[in-house]
Amino acid sequence: MNVSVTPFLRNALLLDAVASGATALLAIVGAPLLAPLLGLPQDLLFWAGVVLVPFVAFLLITARRQAVARLALIDIIGINALWVAASLGLLVSGLVSPNALGVAFVVVQAVAVALFAELQFIGLRRATAQAA
């Protein structure tokens, strides 16, 4: 089933793309500077940024369309939810030992991603309701 990309949904997708793109750029380019500042492994920061690049492309492509498959939007929301779970899971796993600033960085970006997922869910629900 296809869903119209409403202005609200488009803005939620674009906001996510901008924030994720900025985070990817910061993580890829700034990993050597951020790692000691946050107490997080440089490779983790770099590869987390690299992983975001195709997601940002997917968000931009989706936001530019007039209608998209409902499943594509569910995938985006799910990817965001998994990112939040992985971020918070990393903190409690003991695999990394970030300092207070590193913990704050991970938590703040996880909260932001959760907010994007919520906005996208609201947008999907509204678009589905309009189609009915």
How many CB atoms neighbour CB 131 within 10 A?
12
Percent of the chain with pLDDT over 90: 95
DSSP-based three-state secondary structure for 23: helix
In contact, 70 and 128? CB cutoff 8 Å: yes
What is the rounded average pLDDT for all residues in the chain? Answer: 96
The model's confidence at residue 85, banded by pLDDT at 50, 70 and 90, is very high
Domain that holds residue 116: 2-131
The model's confidence at residue 57, banded by pLDDT at 50, 70 and 90, is very high
Q: Which two tokens stand for residue 59?
A: 């968000």
pTM metric for this prediction: 0.94
**According to the model, what pLDDT value does residue 17 have?**
98
Distance between CA 3 and CA 11 in Å, rounded? 15
List pLDDT tens digits, range 94-129.
Answer: 999 999 999 999 999 999 999 999 999 999 999 988
Distance between CA 55 and CA 23 in Å, rounded? 12
Say yes or no to pLDDT of 48 above 90: yes
**According to the model, what pLDDT value does residue 71 have?**
97
Number of domains in the chain: 1
